[in-house]
A and B are shown apart, each in its own frame.
Chain A
């Protein structure tokens, strides 16, 4: 009796069982992070924003610098801090020491300790100085690097602008070849389309942002975009994301007769 529904060809038992097991499997897979969902979002960060991320990382160690520059006026503070730590540690040592160490040895130990502390302090002072020197050096290096980066950035921007202009003119040529302007269009008519692409250049959406007032003309423009269907887009994902994932077409049939 229990097996009866399974033998019935119209029964839903098997499909239900199958879909339930698929759902379960998917739940298990998802809970085990078999797919890292963060990756795609990392990918979408344009590479030249990533370049700036390097920027941001370097200034970070530099940011405490202003504090240190201020600190220079009252050097005591950073020096005091290391003092406290060694003071505490020896204390712990002395407390632990008594049962093992003899009183005569205590003095020697104390002296040794003091000397060690002194050395430590000096070392730390040196370290601090070195650090400061390094920081200063880093600062100057950074500003040099920044200037260079700025120059590079300007160069890169110019290059990007060139790439964008190149693809824009390719897109323009493709549209102009297929845009069939209806006979009612006037040469002064103008409309604005917003186009959404995927990184392969395929059109996913077309919206009329500003209508020309002539529906036949609006439609002809939308059709022109769908007729092209796949636009050439820059291979650099950063440029694509910034300029071509979403862009506008401003259409004016200047060669219309009316």
Chain B
């Protein structure tokens, strides 16, 4: 009798307190997100842009490597408004997101672009925004749309509206230019031409100035130039080498390399007070400084062990730490993805190719990212820390190429020039 009772009680308690079934999922796939960018509806009369806004958005997203865009001819319909979206159709096409938009013509050459992003499987609108701009600004609006879509779907801020700076040269290497362009290589604008070679362009954190090195007859000089006015200021012209300028993240200091003491050492210049501080003191070469986000630590390349390796120096405490140990040659370190990865030029063994590699500072894993190009140099990391732009030799030409920090995405940046080098990825502009 007692047993019956206990049994019933136990059973009852069991069924009441019985925990809900929880299934643990520990793996996912990391493939490109399928998205459909539907051709935007255009106003009567058409818009004077060589490529449609949707085309720019589509190529922006595809180039990021995180998206796979469906070709408009493969779509079942080209909806322009919410009520024309049939989620079932998009599911059939295995699309996860749909972007639609309308371009309308307003007074005084102003265009209004409205776009909406839909989640096909959750069947809801994720984004809806109206932007305005002149005909020349339509490309900026397209990049803005790409940024918003990218951030919404990947959780990472987009860099399609950012600029890149780089140096071009003619075939004979008698004429040099400093240029800026959209991150996709479009809308190039020359901001300086010179018969002297130009090196190491570096962006100020507000994106309004560029520091660079010019190799003049009298020696190398470091300048800072305002982009809006073209006004340039000589910052350093000391005896010997003046090179590799780098703005601190707060924009108040400029780190660079001077060899006035006999061999290259890293110095920091306070831009307001013009006060110089020497950071390194070693008979080996110390060069290529780059700031860490804390405004206090500098990453640099040093030949103090005989071969170039990357170090970190604290400009306040003077503490020094070696970061790279693997490989024959590691230089020009840049931090990516919130300081988790160190991107650099890497040569595994003496005599092997120079490639761009990333070192996972948490796990200590070195990964070589590039393989199609050779003599890879000058890596520059996008402000969101996801992509690396670098210069390389490809089919006997100096070109710009980009690779994602995980090595999955690679693309070449088109250029009209014979030789393109020294890319510098600009900061966020908004």
Query: CB within 8 Å of B: which residues of A?
Result: 49, 52, 55-56, 59, 62, 65-66, 139, 142-143, 146-147, 150, 153, 164, 168, 171-172, 175-185, 192, 214-217, 219-220, 222-224, 226-227, 242-244, 246-258
Contacts and interface: CB of A to CB of B under 8 A. Distances in A.
B153 A182 contact: yes
A214 B122 contact: no
B154 A184 contact: yes
B372 interface: no
A166 B30 CA distance: 26
B359 to A, nearest CB: 14
B155 A217 contact: yes
B22 A249 contact: yes
Nearest to B11: A52
B21 A252 contact: no
Contact of B28 (A176, A242, A247, A250): A176
A130 B66 CA distance: 83
A56 B119 CA distance: 51
A255 B22 contact: no
A146 B23 contact: no
Contact of A250 (B24, B121, B153): B24
A201 to B, nearest CB: 14
A253 B21 CA distance: 20
Nearest to B96: A223
B75 interface: no
A256 B22 CA distance: 21
Contact of A247 (B20, B31, B119, B156): B20
B112 to A, nearest CB: 28
B25 interface: yes
Contacts of A256: 28, 30
Nearest to B126: A219
Which 10 A-B pairs give the minimum distances between C-beta atoms? Answer: A184-B155, A216-B155, A181-B28, A179-B28, A226-B121, A247-B21, A248-B22, A223-B121, A251-B25, A254-B26
A94 to B, nearest CB: 46
B252 to A, nearest CB: 30
Contacts of A219: 119, 122, 153
Interface in B8-49: 8, 11, 15, 18, 20-31, 33
A246 B23 CA distance: 11
A252 B23 contact: no
A257 B406 contact: yes
18 contacts: A62-B1, A143-B3, A164-B21, A175-B23, A176-B26, A180-B28, A182-B66, A183-B154, A183-B155, A183-B406, A185-B155, A216-B154, A224-B28, A246-B20, A248-B21, A248-B22, A249-B22, A254-B27
Nearest to A220: B28
Given A183-B155, A216-B152, A248-B22, A257 B30 contact: yes
B75 to A, nearest CB: 20
Nearest to B66: A183
Secondary structure class of chain A's binding surface, majority of residues:
helix
B401 to A, nearest CB: 20
Secondary structure class of chain B's binding surface, majority of residues:
loop
Contacts of B28: 176, 179-181, 185, 220, 224, 251, 253, 255-256
A152 to B, nearest CB: 12
B17 to A, nearest CB: 13
A12 to B, nearest CB: 28
Interface in B98-157: 119, 121-122, 152-156
Nearest to B7: A150
Nearest to A244: B21
B25 A183 contact: no
A252 B30 contact: no
Contacts of A185: 28, 155
Contacts of B337: 258
A223 B26 contact: no
A226 B122 contact: yes
Contacts of A143: 1, 3-4
B386 A183 contact: yes
Given A150-B7, A226-B122, A257-B30, 12 more contacts: A62-B4, A172-B25, A179-B29, A181-B29, A184-B155, A242-B18, A247-B20, A249-B22, A249-B24, A252-B26, A254-B26, A255-B26
Interface string B389-406: 000000000000000001
A180 B29 contact: yes
B25 A168 contact: no
Contacts of A215: 155
A46 B293 CA distance: 61
B153 A216 contact: yes
Contacts of B386: 183
Given A176-B28, A255-B28, A255-B30, A183 B156 contact: yes
A176 B27 contact: yes
B239 interface: no
B340 interface: yes
A155 B363 CA distance: 47
Contact of B23 (A55, A62, A168): A168
A219 B31 CA distance: 15
Contacts of A254: 26-27
B23 A172 contact: yes
Contacts of A172: 23-25
A217 B121 CA distance: 14
Contacts of B1: 62, 65-66, 139, 143
Contacts of B18: 242
B1 to A, nearest CB: 7
Contacts of B3: 143, 146-147
A212 B18 CA distance: 26
A168 B154 CA distance: 29
Contacts of B8: 52, 55-56
Interface string B285-298: 00000000000000
A226 B31 CA distance: 18
Interface centre among A184, A216, A246, A254, by most chain B C-beta atoms within 10 angstroms, is: A184
B305 to A, nearest CB: 30
Nearest to A58: B4
Contacts of A257: 30, 406
Given A179-B29, A247-B21, A248-B22, A223 B156 contact: no
